[in-house]
Amino acid sequence: MNRRNFLRNTGFVAAGSLFVPAFMKPLEAMALDELSLYKNLVVVQLSGGNDGLNTVIPFGNDIYYQKRKSIAIQPDQVIKLNDMQGLNPNMAALQEIYDQGWMTIINDVGYPNPDRSHFRSMDIWQTGSDSNQFLSTGWIGRYLDSNCQTCKFPYTAIEVDDSLSLALKGQTKKGIALKDPGALFRNTNDPFFKSMIQNDKEHLDEDNLGYLYKTMIETSSSANYIQNTSKVYQSKATYPNTGFSNQLKTVSKFISSGLKTRVYYVSLSGFDTHVNQTNQQGNLLKQYSEGMAAFLKDLKSNNKLEDTLVITFSEFGRRVEQNASNGTDHGTANNMFVFGGRLQKKGIYNPAPNLGDLDTGDLKYQLDFRQVYGTILDKWLDVNNADILNKKFNTLDFI
């Protein structure tokens, strides 16, 4: 970054000799009141490649039963949504959510020339790149970089985890990862840490040391802000006792206490079910559905569901035909879920996967995942999706 860019990006205003660059000012000192109306986005990542065909089951299609002799979910067990598709029985908790009109299922979301490596495909989903393009920033990170009105604080995007995913890393701004706001608060209020950032007027440089201090100061300010804003809030809702539900409970606490964060990121892993899939995936879908149902109802009771949009994705779906170990191997296009209180198109968004028209055994995608991101960026986060996704994607009308 050259000096001029640096000055612009940090809001450094030359106003005499006694000035402090904006990044050195504690965030608390900044006016936050201008930001009143908050729309939240929650991204739920299912890691490992969830088998979409055993999640939303095409029970109306015989090919499904022919290709999945031992792991198909029988029609009498499926929670039927229309005469073609229905939910895995372990997702019973979501039936009520679906019936309320809080859920949209988008079938066959993917991208051209799909990659079947977990790592690569997850990168593609998190960065929003083409399959032969390597980006080192994530799509949410670039949203933070865009300097929009509501994305100037490091806590604009929070990942409820110990480490920060690529999705939340921008070029100049990054989200913040934290699992327990209390623990981060204690760490940043450790006397040694405090002594490192206190009264520090020496690191006003744009160099790497300045960057380290800036990150420290932002972390500390964010930790204080998040802890002080959210500590008073007590949720009355009960959540299942799982790690995933705990993440969602933390998100709900942040949203309900009025944290001025726009994007939350949580993940659930273990979906790489090559062997004996049924039980393993069933357990995970149950955790997922029960957690989500508790979360959405909690938001509803706090009048926050209208302001919240939740999406769920996995890095790829799995092959249509099962393998010899009662599992499934890496595939391509997959369904995505959208939840919220203000969905424009509820229920099943587009036609079920065409199991009769495959690309060497894999589903063909109907919609590019960046159309989903683009829709959210344009219509929910109020930025131009081309600025974030590097080219314009046509939006969809689920919101």
Residues at the site binding another protein, with contacts judged by CB under 8 A: 47-49, 118-120, 122-123, 132, 134, 136, 154, 161-166, 169, 174-179, 184, 187-188, 192-193, 195-196, 200, 202, 207-209, 211-213, 215-216, 218-219, 222, 241-243, 267, 269-276, 279-280, 283-284, 287, 315, 324-325
CA angle 109, 351, 265 (to 5 degrees): 35
Q: Output 106 or 184, the one with its CB closest to another protein.
A: 184
Q: Output 283 or 344, the one with its CB closest to another protein.
A: 283
Q: At closest approach, how far in Å is the CB of 233 from another protein? A: 22
Q: At closest approach, how far in Å is the CB of 225 from another protein? A: 13
Q: Output 20 or 212, the one with its CB closest to another protein.
A: 212
Q: At closest approach, how far in Å is the CB of 205 from another protein? A: 10
Q: Output 108 or 272, the one with its CB closest to another protein.
A: 272
Q: At closest approach, how far in Å is the CB of 19 from another protein? A: 20
Q: Output 323 or 366, the one with its CB closest to another protein.
A: 323
Coil, helix or strand for 393?
coil
Q: Output 250 or 273, the one with its CB closest to another protein.
A: 273
Question: Can you tell me the distance from the alpha carbon of 117 to that of 331, in angstroms, rounded to the nearest whole number?
Answer: 10
Tokens linked to 344: 């424009």
How many residues are there in the chain? 399
Q: Output 241 or 360, the one with its CB closest to another protein.
A: 241
Coil, helix or strand for 335?
strand
Q: At closest approach, how far in Å is the CB of 87 from another protein? A: 18
Tokens linked to 53: 């065909």
Q: Output 171 or 344, the one with its CB closest to another protein.
A: 171
Integer distance in angstroms from the first to the last C-alpha of the chain? 37
User: Distances in Å between the alpha carbon of 155 and those of 152, 173, 229?
Assistant: 9, 10, 12
H helices present in the chain, as ranges:
3-9, 62-67, 93-99, 118-127, 139-145, 181-188, 191-197, 208-230, 243-256, 277-301, 369-379, 385-389
Tokens linked to 94: 């979501």
Tokens linked to 123: 């990168």
Closest CA to 216 of 202, 197, 192, 195: 197
Question: Can you tell me the distance from the alpha carbon of 157 to that of 177, in angstroms, rounded to the nearest whole number?
Answer: 9
Task: Give a three-class secondary structure readout of 246-284.
Answer: HHHHHHHHHHHCCCCCCEEEEEEECCCCCCCHHHHHHHH
Q: Output 240 or 341, the one with its CB closest to another protein.
A: 240
Question: Can you tell me the distance from the alpha carbon of 236 to that of 128, in angstroms, rounded to the nearest whole number?
Answer: 37
Q: Output 188 or 308, the one with its CB closest to another protein.
A: 188
Q: At closest approach, how far in Å is the CB of 267 from another protein? A: 5
Q: At closest approach, how far in Å is the CB of 285 from another protein? A: 10
Q: At closest approach, how far in Å is the CB of 310 from another protein? A: 18
Q: At closest approach, how far in Å is the CB of 8 from another protein? A: 18
CB 376 within 8 A of CB 353: no
Looking from the CA of 95 toward its CB, the CA atoms found within 13 Å total 13
Q: At closest approach, how far in Å is the CB of 35 from another protein? A: 21
